[in-house]
Structure 1
Amino acid sequence: MKKLYLLALLFGAGQAWAQTDALKAQVAKKADALQPQLVTWRRDIHEHPELGNHETRTAALIAAHLKSLGIEVQTGVAKTGVVGILKGGKPGPVVALRADMDALPVTERVAIPFASKVKSTYNGAEVGVMHACGHDSHVAMLMGTAQVLSSMKSELHGTVKFIFQPAEEGAPFGEEGGAELMVKEGVLANPKVDVIFGLHINAQTEVGKITYRPGGTMAAVNDMQIVVKGRQSHGAYPWMSIDPIVVSAQIINNLQTIVSRNLNLTENAAVVTIGSINGGNRSNIIPEKVEMLGTLRALSKADEQMLIERVKTIATKTAEAAGATAEVKIPLSTHYPVTYNDPALTEKMLPTLQAVAGTNNVALKPAVTGAEDFSFYQEKVPGLFFFLGGMPKGTDPAKTAAHHTPDFYIDEGGFSLGVKALCDLTLDYMAGKGK
């Protein structure tokens, strides 16, 4: 009897997998046919970029498209976010797919017909606005994914939740935003999400290729402020002062020992950076205080906590040794957790990525110390975040413009691959395929 039950289960699973393979064949054809439309959407969004928490035009474009597909739409989520819910014709898990919508305060220099000419205000200053990280392509690919999956709605074994997120690059100063606010407002509930997938275009990875990493793939980030207070004096009489500039220099040097002496570099990398130091206003006055601003990056929760504790200890004790004081705030305004790809989920879904791109085109990548607020979703549900090539074939990655720069450029030829990957991950997860 037990053998018959197992055979029945295997037969049922085989049928489901065969149906899924048939749907994936449809996905491939539909995604390839959508490629010109994906480029059109991306160029339109690229030409009309919007900063975080202000993506009103982009959100309206997305909402109108989803509604035209018969997808249930929620707008105004986490200020300007859009969520689409596609209920399949058969019972199954809830799979979330996410794209970020915001641009950056960068003035574009790329000579393309759809280059951004948009200007806006950021932190009180007039700035150019540019999709200098590829979020415009993420939106276009998720719009295309929604179109393909909605066309096979009756065959889906579960529900798909399309999350179009604002402010991944950070909310304006003093505001909430991004994935953290979306989670707080319940984007992973009603219906409850079982798993989430996301991708990021990469200008240093050749088009047609996919890279991934299990575990910590992008760093946790904390910004920090250190205020050193001493005693002011005339610059001619330094012995009457407690010089916060000298103390700050000692703190900066001592902070460098955290990575070199406290971190197990055979396991993970980390970063301790002071990016700003301000104090004093004349050459002959030793000031009363100095302010330093910096960033901490770590690839595990344990390393993140160690960095925070060591910075606080080093700053306060170094200052104390000189008769000064140091006040440390971590985070000052920004904290993203580690972007952590669930190892079991990554192993299970790797065959899907290899099948859609070709095994030779899928590679394990090193961890990076950049950060991603996709991590807030992964704190709540298992998630897989991977990278899609956007560099023209035959290009030297060392000579291509980096993300967040005025010369950032991507090859649009891989967009249909992004749609196939998101669709196939959804279908295979719903069917229980994988290792």
Structure 2
Amino acid sequence: MRIRFQSLPLGLALALACAAPAATAAPDAALTQKLVDWRRDLHQHPELGNQETRTADVVATHLRSLGLQPRTGIGPTGVVAVLKGARPGPRIALRADMDALPVTEQTGLPFASTARATYRGQEVGVMHACGHDMHVAILMGVAEALAGMREQLAGEVVFIFQPAEEGPPEPGEVFGARRMLDEGVFDDAKPDAILGLHVWAGLQTGQIGFRSGPSLASADEWSLTITGKQTHGSRPWDGVDPITVGAQVLLATQSMLARQINTVNAPVVLTAGQFQSGVRFNIIPDDARLVGTLRTYDDAVRADVITRFDRIATDYAHAAGATAKLDVVNNAPATVNDPELARRVLPSLQAAVGADNVIEMPLVTVAEDFSQFANVVPGAYFFVGTTPAGQDPATMPINHSPHYAPDEAALAVGVRAMLRTTLDLLGATPPG
């Protein structure tokens, strides 16, 4: 089905103002307070990926209160509900991610998280350090607003509350969006388009960040194992030092990016986040393991970098008498905003917050498994600023920081932007 684009008439907005927040205005005071209450409750009770049982129950209970019939247990804690309008029309999916991070909160907020959990064998604090509590509250608010105007809607809205966007707590598990797709989230009817958003410390509250085409990077998790030969640290010539080889390989990959890849046209980031080897100061160990991430925006460039990385590791290891094994797992493809959908979405975002407040985003090297959905149906993904007016975003704690404390005024901005965009894509018309 081809999506029809039509601005929400002012008459409809005014007619619905008492029942739900109008697409052209901020949510009313009652819903605004609900957004804050939901967000603070979720923030105080964060859950890691695939463990969002309480969060899913909060979401499902709210959706049932709106007269919807949510499906639960998808992927494994995801929640999906469909709102059917009074007339036929497009099917638009809206997605929010629910999971928190293994981060110990240091905001000092009165509703700060004190939750603890186990992440990959380590006891950790748990915090909504990326703002997914904001995402869930925003989509709950959008659902309430749209449910209040269902008799005026043409088409359907699919609300998707997704687990494990940050990744499951155990290695080898499938990330949330891919798992929801594998478990049939779109089996009953594929949407015509899907929308997603992310709160972002790099923008002021009231601003929206958006771009057409490539937006967020592909995320690969790589693991490199160098196997050498253990020996006494005082006699390195009797063994093969995997630590030295690992260091040589890591430095060589950075030279490869600087001298072999055209990063002007296709940005690439290759980072090691872990280097693990040995147990004692005077023993050269048998092996070393490096773990890191690769971020790219182009599939061909990604494949080329992985091939070169593998060759570098193999050749350096061979020269030292060691062996190397590189494993690469793609956790999320690049997020690409469908150009045609982006053309339709941009005027809606501008209408929601003002044209001057819609900022063309640069390429962002963070990744999002929203891309899994956007590879199945056309997708559009935008950023909602969370730095209060008068404060410099460059000096604020960013997403994933234990100090990240987004401005709650951004909740209403997110609802307004998502609601306006959804209604325009549905081609909403006045009642009667």
Residues in 2 aligned to 1:263 and 1:32: alpha-carbon distance in whole angstroms: 52
Of 133, 137, 146, the match for 1:140: 137
For 1:298, the equivalent position in structure 2 comes to 296
Quick check: 72-81 or 356-365, which moved more? 72-81
1:383: how far off? 0.3
Q: Is the 8 A contact 2:26 2:413 kept in 1?
A: no
1:76: how far off? 0.8
Q: Percent identity among equivalent residues?
A: 47
1:308: how far off? 1.4
Q: Is the 8 A contact 1:229 1:325 kept in 2?
A: yes
Relative to its length, the structure with more helix (as a share) is 1
For 1:372, the equivalent position in structure 2 comes to 368
Extract unaligned runs of 5+ from structure 1.
1-12
> Does 1:22 find its partner at 2:5?
no
> Does 1:32 find its partner at 2:32?
no
Counterparts in 2 of 1:237 and 1:189: CA distance versus 1, 3 Å:
same
Of 65, 69, 88, the match for 1:72: 69
Q: Is the 8 A contact 1:353 1:421 kept in 2?
A: yes
Any idea what the Cα deviations from partners look like across 1:384-419, whole Å, max 9, x if unmatched?
A: 010001111111122211111211111111212211
For 1:360, the equivalent position in structure 2 comes to 356
For 2:153, the equivalent position in structure 1 comes to 156
Tell me the TM-score normalised to structure 2 length.
0.91
Of 336, 340, 345, the match for 2:336: 340
1:169: how far off? 0.8
Residues in 1 aligned to 2:68 and 2:108: alpha-carbon distance in whole angstroms: 37
- Tell me the amino acid that sits aligned with residue 117 of structure 1: T
- Written as runs of structure 1 = structure 2, the 5 A alignment for 1:399-418 is 399-418=395-414
Any idea what the Cα deviations from partners look like across 1:236-267, whole Å, max 9, x if unmatched?
A: 33333333222222211111023212322222
Quick check: 78-87 or 231-240, which moved more? 231-240
Counterparts in 2 of 1:181 and 1:322: CA distance versus 1, 3 Å:
same
For 1:4, the equivalent position in structure 2 comes to none
- Tell me the amino acid that sits aligned with residue 68 of structure 2: I
Quick check: 279-288 or 77-86, which moved more? 279-288
Aligned residues: 417
Counterparts in 2 of 1:48 and 1:284: CA distance versus 1, 3 Å:
closer
Of 358, 372, 378, the match for 1:382: 378
> Does 1:230 find its partner at 2:228?
yes
Q: Is the 8 A contact 1:219 1:337 kept in 2?
A: yes
RMSD: 2.0
- Tell me the amino acid that sits aligned with residue 277 of structure 2: G
Q: Is the 8 A contact 2:25 2:416 kept in 1?
A: no
For 1:172, the equivalent position in structure 2 comes to 169
Q: Is the 8 A contact 2:207 2:358 kept in 1?
A: yes
Quick check: 158-167 or 107-116, which moved more? 107-116
Quick check: 317-326 or 58-67, which moved more? 317-326
Counterparts in 2 of 1:394 and 1:93: CA distance versus 1, 3 Å:
same
Residues in 2 aligned to 1:129 and 1:245: alpha-carbon distance in whole angstroms: 33
> Does 1:114 find its partner at 2:111?
yes
Q: Is the 8 A contact 2:8 2:420 kept in 1?
A: no
Counterparts in 2 of 1:258 and 1:381: CA distance versus 1, 3 Å:
farther
Extract unaligned runs of 5+ from structure 2.
17-21
Any idea what SS the aligned residue of 2:28 has?
helix
Q: Is the 8 A contact 1:168 1:179 kept in 2?
A: yes
Q: Does 1 or 2 have the higher relative contact order (CA < 8 Å, sep 6+)?
A: 2
Q: Is the 8 A contact 2:388 2:407 kept in 1?
A: yes
Tell me the TM-score normalised to structure 1 length.
0.91
Residues in 1 aligned to 2:281 and 2:423: alpha-carbon distance in whole angstroms: 67
> Does 1:98 find its partner at 2:98?
no
Of 48, 53, 56, the match for 2:53: 56
Counterparts in 2 of 1:324 and 1:122: CA distance versus 1, 3 Å:
closer
